[in-house]
Amino acid sequence: MKRSSFALAVALLLALTACSSADDPAPGSSAAGGAWPVKMSHKYGETTIPAEPKRIVTVGLMEQDALIALGVVPIATTNWLGEYPGAIGPWAQDELKTLGGTNPEVLKDTGGGPEFEKIAALKPDLILALYSGVTKEQYDTLSGIAPTVAQPKEYADYGIPWQEITTNVGQAIGKADRATSLVRDVEAKFEAARQANPAFAGKSALVATPYEGTFVYGSQDNRTRILTALGFGLPADLDKVIGDAFGANISAERTDLLDRDALVWIVTDPAADKTKLHADRVYGGLRVAKEGREVFIDEGEPYGHAFSFVSALSLPYLLEQLVPQLAAAVDGNPATT
């Protein structure tokens, strides 16, 4: 659809929405006790949320977990991993059930941006795009539908830490204190894992995937932040190689980056991909491969989804499986699987 035609369609839809909502009940009073309006800064400026939001759409890919953990079910989410009903992962199902168990409508971003007309038809009063890469043009269109909070300017697109997703969502819905407490609880689990595994301290680690060669994740990626939060260090020149993105493909000349004390591979078939990687003369000759310091995570399984879908709800689920594998990787025994 041409831009002008699309803009007209959205404008007409918004007008119809305004007419149809004239008799809708007014939103309830703020749970934050008079905290409204709330002003939030982001990559494209500042957004004012005039009253407690009741109908929230998540254009960002992970905000639904923070909302559910804070007691709010969005009316629509954007699908990313796993094709789960409502785009709600298994790690969040118990919390969803306590809130009534109703799955949100699922939107799709097929590469052309959010489904603007569907979003407008849902009559949201808040759109969250924190873990996203929305452009200025997309943001302007979304803002014409409802107050929209885009990704922060301090990080690369899709680079906001899970802690800030949680606290930003908490601020937007008037539950800032509860969000801070939630972050503190999850960070305590990382602290417990570090205390139980002192061998992690001072060791180096990296996350990679065999995508179009070898793709490695940088310090601004949440998967990498899991490792550093557990006490691991990163290659000294990692971000110099990657640039300001969350990750990048590396050349064959920089395969040395992979030679870590622990190397986490995100793969489609752990056994087959391990065999293929070890058959490579350069990679197979690295100590990380010879000494079995690798952790292979199947990206198609819930565990793999949780490793990429880094949230206050997915992390406890993830750590139960990942920490023992990392401990085996750095135990100094090449025979350990």
In a domain, 178, yes or no: yes
| Number of C-beta neighbours around residue 204 at 10 A | 19
Do residues 46 and 111 share a domain? yes
**pLDDT tens-place string over residues 109-164:** 767 789 999 999 999 999 999 999 999 999 999 999 999 999 999 998 999 999 99
Do residues 114 and 138 share a domain? yes
Q: Distance between CA 216 and CA 218 in Å, rounded?
A: 7
The whole-number pLDDT of residue 199 equals 95
Q: Which residue has the higher pLDDT, 29 or 308?
A: 308
Q: Distance between CA 298 and CA 267 in Å, rounded?
A: 5
The whole-number pLDDT of residue 110 equals 67
Q: Distance between CA 73 and CA 75 in Å, rounded?
A: 7
Q: Distance between CA 244 and CA 229 in Å, rounded?
A: 20
The tokens describing 238, both together, are 């990692």
Q: Distance between CA 246 and CA 227 in Å, rounded?
A: 15
Do residues 180 and 294 share a domain? no
User: How does residue 7 score in pLDDT terms, banded at 50, 70 and 90?
Assistant: very low
In a domain, 336, yes or no: no
In a domain, 191, yes or no: no
Do residues 162 and 83 share a domain? yes
Boundary residue ending a domain (149, 184, 219): 184
Least confident of 1-5, 73-77, 151-155, 178-182: 1-5
Count how many domains the chain has. Answer: 2
In a domain, 337, yes or no: no
In a domain, 1, yes or no: no
- Edge-to-edge order in the sheet of strand 294-298: 247-250, 214-217, 205-209, 262-267, 294-298
Do residues 13 and 144 share a domain? yes
Do residues 44 and 171 share a domain? yes
The whole-number pLDDT of residue 239 equals 86
Do residues 140 and 215 share a domain? no
CA triplet 16, 22, 23: central angle to 5 degrees?
A: 130
Task: Provide the residue range defining the domain that includes 165.
Answer: 8-17+24-184
Do residues 47 and 177 share a domain? yes
Those residues whose C-beta lies under 8 Å from the C-beta of residue 39, and which sit 6 or more positions away, are: 46, 47, 48, 49
In a domain, 190, yes or no: no
Do residues 213 and 129 share a domain? no
Do residues 271 and 234 share a domain? yes
Q: Tell me what the mean pLDDT of segment 18-42 comes to.
A: 56
Instruction: Look at residue 44 and tell me whether its pLDDT is greater than 60.
Output: yes
**pLDDT tens-place string over residues 205-246:** 999 999 888 999 999 899 999 999 999 999 988 988 888 788
Do residues 167 and 207 share a domain? no
Q: How is 305-321 classified by DSSP, letter by letter?
A: HHHHS--TTHHHHHHHH
Q: How many residues are listed for the chain in this entry?
A: 337
**pLDDT tens-place string over residues 295-306:** 999 999 999 999
Give the CATH number for residue 274: 3.40.50.1980
Boundary residue ending a domain (124, 157, 184): 184
Percentage of the chain modeled with pLDDT above 90:
78
In a domain, 82, yes or no: yes
Q: How is 123-173 classified by DSSP, letter by letter?
A: --SEEE-SSS---HHHHHHHHTTS-EE---TTS-TT---HHHHHHHHHHHT
pTM of the model: 0.85
Do residues 173 and 202 share a domain? no
Instruction: Look at residue 20 and tell me whether its pLDDT is greater than 60.
Output: no
Boundary residue ending a domain (184, 206, 228): 184
In a domain, 192, yes or no: no
